[in-house]
Amino acid sequence: MAAKSPETSRYTETERKFDVVDSTVSPSFEGLSAVARVERSPSQSLAAVYFDTPGRDLARHRITLRRRTGGTDAAWHLKLPAGAETRTEIHVPLGDDEPADDPTVPESLRDVVAAIVRDRPLAPVARINTTRIVENLLGPGGAGIAEFCDDHVTASAVGGDELTWREWELELQPGGDAAVFDRLTNRLLDAGAEPAGHGSKLARVLASAPDAGDDAPKTSKAAAGDPARRAVAQHIAELIEWDRAVRADEWDSVHQMRVTTRKIRSLLQSSEGSFDIADHEWVLDELRELAAVLGIARDAEVLAERYERALDALPETNVRGPVRERLVDGAKKRYQTGWKRSLTAMRSQRYFRLLDALEELVASDPPQSAAGEEPQQLNIGSAYKRVRKAAKAARAAAEDAETGTDESNEALHRIRKRAKALRYTAAATGASKVADRAKVIQSLLGDHQDSVVSRTHLSRQAEVAHAAGEDTFTYGLLYQLEDDLARRCEEQIEDALAALDKAVAKS
């Protein structure tokens, strides 16, 4: 995991909001066996300034960024959606010499949402003042169950009218029981509350604000009926989600971001009738470069996990010398180097312009076809032909006695790349059987390619170990295991290709 500042804290927040009128009487929690005691805190005065881009990019992604003073949690708060009623909340302390009238968003918080805000300015969009009364609901053992807040709110968007309202919040405490949460909710509803019409105070304020401007992305009408556009738009959203996970160094996030990048590139290449890609060839190049940068960390991550599993499965007597340090620890160090390099790329203007261009492609009108010509639409036919062509070339390479092992491995790798493109196309067009069969081929040859890379690495590390006077027995044993795996994959590929043929014929 990425190292975090000791001052930065993260919380998981699960809460429900309710609309009430001024005359509504606060609920009673007596009679609930789960609630042993209610502790009422003194009234708090909370003042918050909310920040966003001119186009309200954070709000569109259901993210809130605020600077709060007053109460027990005065700090910068960044709230990220983590489910229907759950959010991840990140706190950064206020600076000692931070100007209250013109504060700057902490760079650590800006970086979390960099794929959304990019290099656009973050400025105040709303001010919300809350007078809050808190009741802590405790269980029989004294542990917190939930927190009930009775809020009187005065708020306004920048340039908008002042609003006032009253609302209740019910927040489940860590480890709280969902069934108890539902029973507490019923008490609020019985007292006259109604589920809130907005997901947050900020959403309620911005709904009444002046127009956000022309910076918000527009969606082309053509996208509604175009599977390629829908798929690319979905993958762009996924890319932004994985971007945030990579910045937090979450497990498997580099892999998933790389896969998503490749999906987008593949669909753009195979959807000329949907996108005017002729004028955006640089986008394809940038996607390829981004995948390559992410691949440095991903390849190291694969090797670290692969060798750790393999060494753990061997008898201790067969693990000789500092092989674990060379193979596992060495790969983990290379992962960290690759991850940092990925972050550098993801903080660049070049990356931000790529994200801008992808959104513009989805929002733009489709290219005009020549008179009398049907526009080329996304279909599995051409992608399938490329798989068959690659398979034919691989068979020829295997039969050619003069073809070396490297050439045969590369021929199999080309099948994998073509099968992957077919899988993405089939998934976008709803051909799930074809997508599943293509995925089998992709997985088989993915294992094969990982074995090729691993054997090359093992040979190099064995040479280094031998030069250092170390026992190289374990390297040879691991090499043989990798070679056996590659052969098993090769033995299964013809059956997998035949199954794909049948799926395509029925699609």
Last residue of a domain, one of 342, 366, 390: 366
User: Nearest-CA neighbor of 38 among 150, 200, 195?
Assistant: 150
265 inside domain: yes
Structural domain containing residue 497 = 379-507
Per the CB < 8 A criterion, the answer to whether 51 and 67 are in contact is yes
Last residue of a domain, one of 340, 366, 392: 366
Residues 169 and 248 in one domain: no
DSSP string, 132-171: EEEEEEE-TTS-EEEEEEEEEEEEEETTS--EEEEEEEEE
371 inside domain: no
- pLDDT at residue number 87: 93
Residues 191 and 238 in one domain: no
Residues 482 and 337 in one domain: no
d(CA 264, CA 116): 18
Alpha-carbon dihedral angle through residues 222, 225, 228, 229, given to the nearest 10 degrees: 40
308 inside domain: yes
401 inside domain: yes
Report the SS3 class of residue 173.
Answer: coil
Residues 391 and 505 in one domain: yes
Q: Which helix (H) or strand (E) holds 477?
A: helix 473-506
372 inside domain: no
Per the CB < 8 A criterion, the answer to whether 383 and 425 are in contact is yes
**What is the total count of domains within the chain?**
3
Last residue of a domain, one of 366, 396, 425: 366
Write out the chain's pLDDT in tens, 507 residues.
344 444 788 989 999 999 999 999 999 998 899 999 999 999 999 999 999 999 999 999 999 999 999 998 999 999 999 888 899 999 999 988 777 777 899 999 999 999 999 999 999 999 999 999 999 999 998 999 999 999 999 999 998 999 999 999 999 998 889 999 999 999 999 999 999 998 899 999 999 877 644 444 555 455 556 788 889 999 999 999 999 999 999 999 999 999 999 999 999 988 767 787 777 889 999 999 999 999 999 999 999 999 999 999 999 999 999 999 999 999 999 999 999 999 999 999 999 999 999 999 998 877 765 434 444 556 788 899 999 999 999 999 888 756 668 889 999 999 999 999 999 999 988 899 999 999 999 999 999 999 999 999 999 999 999 999 999 999 999 999 999 999 999 999 999 999 999 999 998
Residues 289 and 173 in one domain: no
Residues 362 and 391 in one domain: no
- pLDDT at residue number 219: 52
User: Nearest-CA neighbor of 204 among 133, 253, 156, 137?
Assistant: 156
Residues 354 and 496 in one domain: no
Per the CB < 8 A criterion, the answer to whether 270 and 383 are in contact is yes
- pLDDT at residue number 213: 45
Residues 352 and 444 in one domain: no
Residues 232 and 360 in one domain: yes
- pLDDT at residue number 214: 45
